[in-house]
Structure 1
Amino acid sequence: MADKQANPSTTPQAATDRQPIGDDKSLSDIFRSMKRDGQGMSALGYDGVLRTFDAERNVLDAVGLNPAQIREYYDGLPLPERLRTADGRNVSHWDMFHPDAENVPKIFTEEEKARIVARNEEMFKRGVTTCVPGKSADEGGSKA
């Protein structure tokens, strides 16, 4: 990932370099508006930023979520402790597109992918189609 020492978010420009977000937008609207490719995924980082990634985990798009949108993302699931005070609107545009490693989903090995597919098939046989209640598999994405 990017070298944080080269981070321009420490300059006065950073305060004006924030991505505007409609606090009234639903999570579904945000998901639909984000850039994506057919091979990537989406994930909410510990910084409160929802990102879409390509298969190599390059950031395609990023939106800073407000606390209500973060809670909506985890609707029906326990909210991780680190996200309880997160507000992605406070993250600079540069940091949104150059996240710390902890905010980038892991690239799975072929063996790990096979285990995940097998587990998902087993869950499907049991009637579970997504891990997030009330969301489609396309919206569910990866959880941080």
Structure 2
Amino acid sequence: MPEQGSQPSCPAPWDRSDPIQQELTTILRSLKHDAALMGILSLGNDGVMRSLTADRHVVDAVGLSPAQIATYLDRMPSAFRQDDTLLKQADGTKVPREQWFSPDKALLPEPMSQEVRERTERRMREDEERGLGSVKTKREEMEAQGMKFA
């Protein structure tokens, strides 16, 4: 049973002792996130992992090696996988750094729709009203666990 105040840990569905998995975990933890808590992580077909805002502006990015890309894909449930043919050929370490932050828009997912944005904001307000914490409080808790925000 976890100590009071500690976060429960969920077992990862991948081998945590695998060096490439450990390396990928470190990389993903190092990325800065959207301070509004409405952003996403997106792996582009160019092999670059990007932290994006709801409007799909790049907050942070890193080029992944082919081994890291394969490892990341192994983490994804099959229901979330799309055709990953291009990704299997990608090497984000060869993409110029300026393209990490100013990618071709075709590499990015569609911006969050107004409907989804409103639903998410409503859920965050409801959470705050129920005493589950404000965006600021949640962000502070996440920062205490090592997450970084832009």
Coarse TM-score class (shorter-chain normalised): 0.5 to 0.7
Name the residue aligned to 2:97.
93
Larger-gyration structure (1/2):
2
Deviation at 1:71, TM superposition (A): 0.6
Structure 1 runs of 4+ with >3 Å offset = 76-79
| CA distance in structure 1 between the partners assigned to 2:57 and 2:111 by the alignment | 11
Name the residue aligned to 2:45.
46
Deviation at 1:109, TM superposition (A): 2.3
| CA distance in structure 1 between the partners assigned to 2:26 and 2:110 by the alignment | 26
| CA distance in structure 2 between the partners assigned to 1:55 and 1:110 by the alignment | 10
Name the residue aligned to 2:71.
72
| CA distance in structure 1 between the partners assigned to 2:109 and 2:68 by the alignment | 20
| CA distance in structure 1 between the partners assigned to 2:94 and 2:61 by the alignment | 13
The 5-angstrom pairing of residues 120-135 of structure 1 reads: none
Deviation at 1:108, TM superposition (A): 3.4
Name the residue aligned to 1:60.
59
| CA distance in structure 1 between the partners assigned to 2:112 and 2:87 by the alignment | 24
What is the aligned-residue identity percentage?
A: 40
Question: Unaligned regions of 5+ residues in structure 2, if any?
Answer: 1-18, 121-150
Q: Report how many aligned residue pairs link the two structures.
A: 93
Question: Unaligned regions of 5+ residues in structure 1, if any?
Answer: 1-22, 118-144
* TM norm structure 2: 0.54
| CA distance in structure 2 between the partners assigned to 1:91 and 1:67 by the alignment | 12
* TM norm structure 1: 0.56
1:30 aligns with 2:47: no
Q: Cα RMSD between the aligned structures?
A: 2.5
| CA distance in structure 2 between the partners assigned to 1:110 and 1:54 by the alignment | 14
SS of equivalent to 2:32: coil
SS of equivalent to 1:69: helix
Provide, for residues 68-96 of structure 1, a one-character-per-residue CA deviation record: whole Å limited to 9, x for no partner.
11011110646611112100000001111
SS of equivalent to 1:43: strand
Deviation at 1:110, TM superposition (A): 4.1
1:104 aligns with 2:108: yes
SS of equivalent to 2:89: coil
